[in-house]
Amino acid sequence: MRIHDHFSKIELQQLLARSDAQAWLAVLTSWVLVALAFALVALWPNPLTILLALIVIGGRQLGFGALMHECGHGSLFATKGLNSWVGKWLCAGPVMYRIDDYMVRHLLHHRTVGTAEDPDLSRYQAYPVTRASLRRKLIRDLTGRTTMKFLRDLLKANATIETEDGQRSLRLGRFFSRMRAPIISNLVLFSILASLGQAPLYLLWVAAYFSTYMLFSRIRNLAEHAAVPDLTDSDPLLNTRTTLASWWERLTFAPNSVNYHLEHHLLPAVPKYRLAKFHRALRAKGLLDHADIAPGYRAVLDRIITKQQAQAAQLDQAWCAKPECTQDCRSIIQLRAGQSCHSRQGSLSCVQSQAKVIIGKGSPDIQWCMPGWVPASPGMGPAFIFAKAN
């Protein structure tokens, strides 16, 4: 879909208009919420206020990542200088990112989403997963293991060089040089708290970074591309999801309008403070009628968790009884017998179904669909195990 075919020049100008005032409001609001979380614990230190502070700070750390992303696209502020400075020092630095490195990876994601070249593919390719598998991942997030892996990768990417003999050597000087903004940003935050006699509060920032931030970040990532209608399709309407967020979800999983991810992929230059307007305009024009719009993050979790209680069965002639899918099933049976398939889409009558089935572990990009049925064990090859969708 070409957005320029559906929106006038004036409409696009309004959607793409950048505002320094709204940009500063977004940045300052995030830092005010962090300050309030610190103040809450300073005034009433107890387990409940600490828990609330970890939730708020973790959500804002994700929010700073979202604002860094906006600055990287040059869409938050009206000028390149402000996008560069604020993005580097007030958004990326505090959460240990280098905005330039991030944008190289992120722009590649935009060009290659869902393909083998997509640098983010590993984050959402394997979904849906079992409830137990997702629980293990979230526990890793909350116990700091995800953050430790991120920091190890950060050290490896920024502190190692390859010597002439092909060996990799650690250079801490290179690390401090490349990570100057993140290190200074965190030192400034610590110094401000220390100057107020509240240096221990910095531990809240660290604790959130090692727990709630990573959990919120994972769920946000999954909401964007996991278990979408067709991740391998180049159409954003099929490979990307928007999630409508409530107030508490905007405080945690979806800060700074990051939930409008489909809209962002359709037109990346739209500032975060105009994405909701863009969403409404797309709806009014009927352009989201067949898009994946989740009503909330609970709905997203339901989609990315395999329904273990569903009855599994092996595909055979019984599932071919439906007249509308007879040809599909015959083709599947032929494939089981080792015969070739003439086309990915072919003349199948069910290709519009949301329940798509990957046939064969080694099959070359062949997808079929059976209405009402989804893979219970993706990648099982010729076993063809399916489960009735709820």
* Model confidence at 290: pLDDT above 80: yes
In the predicted model, what is the mean pLDDT of residues 46-66? 98
Residue 384 binned pLDDT confidence (cut-offs 50, 70, 90) = very low
* Average pLDDT of the residues of the chain: 82
In the predicted model, what is the mean pLDDT of residues 51-79? 98
Q: Which two tokens stand for residue 356?
A: 């798509």
In the predicted model, what is the mean pLDDT of residues 270-287? 97
Residue 162 binned pLDDT confidence (cut-offs 50, 70, 90) = low
Give the pLDDT confidence score for residue 333 in this predicted structure: 36
* Model confidence at 172: pLDDT above 90: no
Going from the C-alpha of 48 to that of each of 40, 45, 55, 109, 142, the distances in angstroms are: 10, 8, 11, 39, 17
Which helix H or strand E contains 243, and what residues bound it? Answer: strand 241-243
Burial of 59-97, coded b for 16+ CB within 10 Å and e otherwise, reads bbbbbbbbbbbbbbbbbbbbeeebbbebbbbbbbbbbbb
Could you tell me the strand order of the sheet in which 312-314 lies?
Answer: 312-314, 385-388, 373-375
Q: Which two tokens stand for residue 19?
A: 């505002």
Give the pLDDT confidence score for residue 322 in this predicted structure: 39
* Model confidence at 340: pLDDT above 70: no
Single pTM value for the model? 0.79
Give the pLDDT confidence score for residue 169 in this predicted structure: 76
* Model confidence at 334: pLDDT above 50: no
Question: Whose CA is closest to 262, among 303, 290, 284?
Answer: 290
Give the pLDDT confidence score for residue 170 in this predicted structure: 77
Omega of the bond prior to 128 within 30 degrees of 0, cis? yes
Q: Percent of the chain, pLDDT > 70?
A: 77
Residue 352 binned pLDDT confidence (cut-offs 50, 70, 90) = very low
Give the pLDDT confidence score for residue 16 in this predicted structure: 98
* Model confidence at 315: pLDDT above 60: no
Which helix H or strand E contains 293, and what residues bound it? Answer: strand 292-294
Asked whether the beta carbons of 112 and 104 are under 8 A apart, the reply is no
- For every residue of 59-114, which 3-state class applies, written as one string? HHHHHHHHHHHHHHHCCCCCCHHHHHHHHHHHHHHHHCCCHHHHHHHHHHHHHHCC
Q: Percent of the chain, pLDDT > 90?
A: 72
> Which residue would you say has higher pLDDT here, 102 or 340?
102
pLDDT, tens digit (0-9, with 9 covering 90-100), for 115-149: 999 999 999 999 999 999 999 999 999 999 999 99
In the predicted model, what is the mean pLDDT of residues 222-236? 94
